[in-house]
Amino acid sequence: MRIKIIGVVGAGIMGRGVSLSLAQTNHRVILVDISSEILDNATKELREYIRMQRLFQNSDDMPSPGEVLDRITLTTNYELLREVDFVMEHVTEKWKIKKDIYPKLDDICLKECIFASGTSTIPITRIASLTNRAQQVIGMHFMNPVPLKPVVEIIRGHHTSEETVEKAKKMLGQMGKEGVVVNDSPGFVSNRVLMLAINEAICLLEEQVSTAEDVDRIFKSCFGHKMGPLETADLIGLDTILYSIESLHDNLKDSKYRPCTLLKKMVDAGLYGRKSGQGFYNYSD
Ligand code: NAD
């Protein structure tokens, strides 16, 4: 069987994780972002992640960082996506950014190529409308950190064909993951609930009802969650949380998705969580 070449667009938290999971399951990856600086950071972070993985899993059988990274071509040139069978898009959660990417992919990519969006909230049917291949557009909502999360929410858009759903499931199988298929709606299942809970937890902090530590402790010790909502927000990235809540607000026109003022203020201040070193907690040591 020919080795599949997968395009990943966006080399941030999710694009890196997806590229790593693909490369570690013997796929070749073309990873596209907008600047060489971002791609250099992605290479450094991927190398470090693989090194730590090998250390903690205590396995010399795992491929070395060099071997895995050799399978990933990092580039700012979209034209390299001409040869890929599948694109997994993971750019910033903003409609105004995503809307320019899909027509470009539609022009460049093979006509059989499938487009899987990793969006957290934007309806897949809306994304598909930007292309001339709506039946081949699907949502593949990976969870963070991608290498550690075995289940992916698959979103069937209005025009997504059963063949595309099957190919997406097969693709996930090749990555050692499994998909749960849901129908299209803003935020799907996971983020319709999660984003609301996180936003509300931030409101509680803003109203000084509790501290970040105690909000998280209640969820961990009372409900058995592995992480509390504010720790989860720091892991996801507060910028992505804000854009997701804004997108739910825009798409559902329901005031319950109004972003909390403290969230906006933290994003304005550059406090994005783990990725910037400071969010509700400090990660700079
Ligand atoms: P991020 O901010 O870490 O990375 C986004 C990347 O997209 C950046 O590197 C940026 O330079 C790049 N980008 C922007 N415009 C681009 C363009 N025109 N072409 C190529 N690259 C471009 O964001 P993230 O957390 O990785 O999120 C990416 C997507 O995945 C979003 O849709 C988000 O909602 C979704 N998602 C995020 C999480 C999470 O936990 N962070 C989980 C599931 C899904």
pLDDT in tens, 100-148: 999 999 999 999 999 999 999 999 999 999 999 999 999 999 999 999 9
Q: pLDDT at residue 216 above 90?
A: yes
The vertex-248 CA angle with 270 and 147, nearest 5°, equals 65
What is the CA(237)–ligand 1 centre distance, in A?
10
Domain boundary among 133, 157, 183: 183
Q: Stretch 246-270: mean pLDDT, rounded?
A: 98
| Residue 60 confidence (pLDDT) | 66
Are 71 and 136 in a shared domain? yes
What mean pLDDT is predicted for residues 263-276? 98
Q: For the ranges 51-65, 142-156, 233-247, which has the lowest average pLDDT?
A: 51-65
Q: What is the CATH number of the domain that holds 259?
A: 1.10.1040.50
The two structure tokens encoding residue 107: 């022009």
pLDDT score recorded for residue 7: 98
Instruction: Kindly state whether residues 109 and 134 are assigned to the same domain.
Output: yes
Mean pLDDT across 268-284: 97
169 touches 86 (CB < 8 A)? no
Ligand 1 mean position, distance from CA 214 (Å): 30
Sheet holding 151-156, edge to edge: 72-75, 28-32, 5-9, 86-89, 114-117, 137-141, 151-156, 178-183
3-state SS, residue 29:
strand
pTM score, two decimals?
Answer: 0.96
Kindly state the average pLDDT of the residues 256-275.
98
**Which tens digits make up the pLDDT trace of 62-83?**
788 889 999 999 999 999 999 9
Measured from the CA of 16, which atom of ligand 1 is nearest?
Answer: 26
Give residue-wise pLDDT tens across range 160-188.
999 999 999 999 999 999 999 999 999 99
Q: Which residues line ligand 1 (CB under 6 A)?
A: 9-15, 32-34, 38, 90-93, 97, 101, 118-120, 141-142, 144, 236-237, 240, 244
Axis crossing angle, helix 13-23 with helix 36-56, rounded to the nearest 10: 60
Ligand 1 centre from 62 Cα, in Å? 28
Domain's final residue, options 183, 212, 238: 183
Q: Tell me: do 229 and 95 sit in the same domain.
A: no
Q: Residue 43 sits in a domain of what CATH number?
A: 3.40.50.720
CB atoms within 10 A of CB 263: 23
Cβ-based neighbour number of residue 183 at 10 Å: 13
**Predicted pLDDT at 147:** 94
Of 164, 183, 202, the domain-final residue: 183
If asked whether residues 176 and 197 sit together in one domain, one would say: no
Give dist(CA 17, CA 111) in Å, integer: 26
How do residues 3-58 score in pLDDT, each as one tens digit? 589 999 999 999 999 999 999 999 999 999 999 999 999 999 999 998 888 877 76
Q: Cα dist. 172→73, 96, 147, 223, 225 in Å?
A: 21, 28, 12, 30, 26
Q: Check pLDDT > 60 for residue 59.
A: yes
Q: Higher pLDDT residue, 93 or 67?
A: 93
To the query of whether residue 158 is one of the catalytic residues in this protein, the response is no
The domain of 246 spans: 191-268
